[in-house]
A and B are shown apart, each in its own frame.
Chain A
């Protein structure tokens, strides 16, 4: 308990402590000092005071090794910032290393601050140059520095990817120049919007470049156009990351950043660098114009050459045609003669063959003829003989029957009673029938004598016998 009491008797108030610290600081660090630091953040509040976050950060590190608040009082802001901008051409901004004159102040409530009375712009310029040369050195060491310069630049760059801010005056200038070109060339411009100044500019531009690279086949070139305006803040175009991104583009990059004095690192690594956005547009137009003129001259040359060539070819063709005709004609003539000769030979051959066959045929046909004739003769003779025999036989048959009939007729005629009676013969019948002998009757008997026209009844008177018996 006593301890606590003893402590309580020996305490000081916070005010006393802060006042103590303030006094000590003031004694040791109260003088005006020149301090070098990086501005990590900067803002001017509505009262017009400028508050800065000052840090010390080793090269390439993100964590500061020291930090302190800096303040430029309202009264000094215009003076300090205006001078800085007037000399460097840049607004004081985060990321800058600055040499400041001021004094340390300790406030019992707000703590420690550095009251900035002045900033030496030349230091920042030098520092930026140093930074820039370091960046350039690094880019060269890494082989990035010349990379985009080695990209083949198409003579005609028509499909253009623009990295800019849509509202930027430079972009408008660029577009006006392109669209108003006196030759009537047409360009296909695609805008990749980006923040072109201030702390976020570098990352924004890199993002736009990456978007373009992703569809690089759709473009012939990239044009980076700075936002414009009166203040020329080029610091982001000296940053390593942006320079590396530009250098690594597969498309040629035209830097139309716009500046009067120094050249930025982006300008150095870009394939082409021009001073203004308008100049960037001219570059594209001139490329097209050059190509156009080249085309025209090539066309002219071609025209002449082609005319010559055509004339020459015509001559050659005529000659060739003539030669061809002659050779064809002579070839045809040759063939014709050959054919004719062959025709004659063939005809002879054929005739010989036919003659041979004809003779054979003739001999054969004579043979056949002879054979046939002998056969026919034989047949004919046989037939004739048979015919004659038949004829003879038939007539003989008829003759025989004729003779038979003649004989029969004469026989019949000899038996015809009328004829017999006409000759004077008569038939005598007795009681025993027809008398064939005198012995068949006797004197005194009745007999009947039949003549042709009637019958005589008589009586036998006397019978006289013939002596021939």
Chain B
């Protein structure tokens, strides 16, 4: 998990994109699928977290400016 934390939002989104592509286009083995879904869920959580943080920050900024 340590390694994932160091991912940037862009890298995480990219990885998530490639996982989604594989899910959509490839017939995956159940084991692989499980691990891919698990990985994708983690990436989603990471991205959501970062995005939520960014949103809050942006909200702060705009609030100050207003």
A residues at B contact (CB < 8 Å): 387, 391, 394-395, 398, 401-402, 404-405, 408-409, 411-412, 415-417, 427, 434, 450
Contact = CB atoms under 8 A, between A and B. Distances in A.
Given A412-B37, A415-B33, A416-B37, A404 B23 contact: no
Contacts of A401: 13, 47, 51
Given A391-B62, A398-B54, A417-B30, A412 B40 contact: yes
Contact of A415 (B23, B44, B55, B65): B23
Contacts of B41: 409, 412, 416
Interface in B45-63: 47-48, 51, 54-55, 58, 62
A405 B48 contact: yes
Contact of B44 (A387, A395, A405): A405
B35 to A, nearest CB: 10
Nearest to A416: B37
B62 A412 contact: no
B8 interface: no
Contacts of A408: 16-17, 20, 40, 44
B5 interface: no
Contacts of B62: 391, 394
Given A417-B33, A427-B30, A387 B23 contact: no
A103 to B, nearest CB: 175
A427 B30 CA distance: 8
Interface residues of B, number: 24
Nearest to B27: A434
Contacts of B55: 398
Given A398-B55, A416-B37, A411 B47 contact: no
A292 to B, nearest CB: 117
Interface centre among A387, A409, A415, A417 (most CB of B within 10 A): A415
A411 B24 contact: yes
A182 to B, nearest CB: 125
Interface string B11-36: 00100110110011001001001101
Given A394-B58, A395-B58, A387 B37 contact: no
Contacts of B44: 405, 408-409, 412
A152 to B, nearest CB: 120
Nearest to A411: B20
Contacts of A417: 30, 33-34, 37
Given A398-B54, A401-B51, 16 more contacts: A402-B51, A405-B16, A405-B48, A408-B16, A408-B40, A408-B44, A409-B41, A411-B23, A411-B24, A412-B23, A412-B37, A415-B36, A417-B34, A417-B37, A434-B27, A450-B30
20 contacts: A391-B62, A394-B58, A394-B62, A398-B54, A398-B55, A401-B51, A402-B48, A405-B44, A405-B47, A411-B20, A412-B20, A412-B23, A412-B37, A412-B40, A415-B23, A415-B33, A415-B37, A417-B30, A417-B34, A434-B27
Nearest to B31: A417
A434 B17 CA distance: 26
A406 to B, nearest CB: 9
